[in-house]
Chains A and B, each alone.
Chain A
Amino acid sequence: MSHPAADSRFLLRRLHSLLGLLPIGIFLTFHLWENSQSRFGAGHYNGEVVAFLRGMNYLPVLEIVVIALPLLFHAGYGLVVATQMRAELTRYRFARNWLYWLQRVSGIGILIFLLLHVGMTRIEGLWRVSVREDLFGHMQHLLSQSWMFGLYLTGLLLSVFHLANGLSTMGIVWGLTTSARAQRRFGFVCAGFGLLLATIGVHGLIGFLP
């Protein structure tokens, strides 16, 4: 039984794993760091942060190739992966088992959140000039409604969790961490990274509030 090359399913699964970090995880980190500048007010946010992004070379290509397509593949293949889950959370009350479940559930939550989030910012901005020209004002208007703030907060925390936990299991999948001690240690490193990223994200959300 010899295979000429690695199995395509294996490669797809590894591609799914890799895309979660590169570019999606890097993008999320950048995105939250960018938006944490909301605390400097509308002038800085619209004039510096958004203007810089909108002036980027090859912007539409970058948006599609670096963000949209990897996200769509990661989400689509992630849904396929999630169908294999038969979690028994009450029988096996171990932290990793809960994280395993939450990784899949958060993935579905993030997908729903992102459809709404991208829809009411990037897509809505395509035809509504006010969204495009004053994104800060638009976000302030959105986040001033408590339920919308709750939605964004949930989407943010789910995304950050999904990235941090995904990073820790990526260590096992790719063979960076093998011993139980290394896996635990790296798990704490990822948790620390997640907490830091969540703080930056929440800081950014609060910065939009009047």
Chain B
Amino acid sequence: MPANRMSIRFKIRRQDAPGSPSYWQEFAIPYAPDHNVISALMVVQNNPVTTDGQRVAPVVWDRNCMEEVCGSCAMLINGVPRPSCSALIDSLTQPIVLEPLPKFPVVRDLLVDRSRIDEGLRRVRAWIEIDGAWDTHEGAPRISPIEWSANYLYSRCMSCGCCLSACPQFGPHSAFIGPAALAQVRLMNAHPTGRYDQAERLHAIMGDGGISDCGNAQNCVRVCPKAIPLTTAIGELGRQTTVQAVKDLFGG
């Protein structure tokens, strides 16, 4: 039996508090088939002893759904930003190197503060206004199957932040809202009711930290675990903002 079939080895970048220095620790657990990174981390948590035999505080990380729809468990796994629930141990090279999701402030160990994603979504009004002082008396608006299937791709975004951590323009140094929020503008602007707020959303992304900060490195679309066509959204928003700028400058 090869060595990596006898144990699962982790090398984890740990950090005790926000702003404190990080350090590495290594852990090993007995091999069992069909582990993912989270289920293996749970085994580590049961008995947090490093390979040096030192008993340490259990590793902290974020998780929720375990089926790659909530986005909370994203981290850097062997240098790649991805959700840890769908990172299967049997497909990873060992020792498996775990680091907190880059570009976001570390809270502790592998737990990061991703509230900047929510701020971006708020800024671009990534929702549909359905409440008002009127009664529409109408059923759900009709969307053609072709349009629906294109929109559906963007509705799969789970705000995991992988695209943002891979983006060379995004980070603490810049105000860029990043591809995830931009893709939601694409989605909401396509909705028959959301369309009414298109100009407001476009103005939001034409401001500081908006679409102009995209450098077209296109890492986002390569790392997105949900295969969302982020760069297509950015191209379509390029077109929408071009038209919007013409309207702003010349009227119409």
B236 at the interface (CB under 8 A from A): yes
Interface string of B78-110 (1 = CB under 8 A from A): 011000000000000000000000000000000
Contact status A6-B208, CB under 8 Å: no
Contact status A177-B207, CB under 8 Å: no
A30 at the interface (CB under 8 A from B): no
A115 at the interface (CB under 8 A from B): no
Tally of chain B residues near chain A (CB < 8 A): 45
B194 at the interface (CB under 8 A from A): no
A13 to B176, CA, bound (A): 14
Contact status B245-A86, CB under 8 Å: no
* Chain B: CB-nearest residue to A82: B215
A11 at the interface (CB under 8 A from B): yes
A14 at the interface (CB under 8 A from B): yes
Contact status B216-A10, CB under 8 Å: no
Contact status A84-B231, CB under 8 Å: no
Contact status B241-A180, CB under 8 Å: no
**Stretch in B10-18, B30-38, B198-206 with 4+ CB within 8 Å of A:** B198-206
Q: Which residues of B contact A178 (CB under 8 A)?
A: 232, 235-236, 238-239
B212 at the interface (CB under 8 A from A): yes
Contact status A175-B236, CB under 8 Å: yes
A172 at the interface (CB under 8 A from B): yes
Contact status A172-B216, CB under 8 Å: yes
A88 at the interface (CB under 8 A from B): yes
Interface string of A59-95 (1 = CB under 8 A from B): 0000000000000000000000100111110011010
Interface string of B210-225 (1 = CB under 8 A from A): 1111111111011100
- Shortest A114–chain B CB gap in Å is 22
* Chain A: CB-nearest residue to B218: A96
Q: Which residues of B contact A123 (CB under 8 A)?
A: none
Option from B200, B213, B236, B249 in Cβ contact (under 8 Å) with A6: B249
Q: Which residues of B contact A104 (CB under 8 A)?
A: 215
Contact status B218-A94, CB under 8 Å: yes
- Shortest B116–chain A CB gap in Å is 15
A176 to B241, CA, bound (A): 12
Q: Which residues of B contact A180 (CB under 8 A)?
A: 221, 229, 231-232
A179 at the interface (CB under 8 A from B): yes
Contact status A6-B244, CB under 8 Å: yes
Option from B80, B171, B212 in Cβ contact (under 8 Å) with A13: B212
B contact set with A: CB distance below 8 Å:
79-80, 166, 168-169, 171, 173-174, 176, 200, 203-204, 206-208, 210-219, 221-223, 229, 231-232, 234-245, 248-249
A contact set with B: CB distance below 8 Å:
1-7, 9-11, 13-14, 81, 84-88, 91-92, 94, 96-97, 99-101, 103-104, 169, 171-180, 182-183
CB pairs A–B below 8 angstroms (20 shown): A1-B203, A1-B204, A6-B249, A7-B207, A7-B210, A10-B206, A14-B242, A84-B213, A86-B171, A92-B223, A97-B219, A100-B217, A169-B216, A172-B235, A174-B238, A174-B242, A175-B243, A179-B229, A180-B232, A182-B235
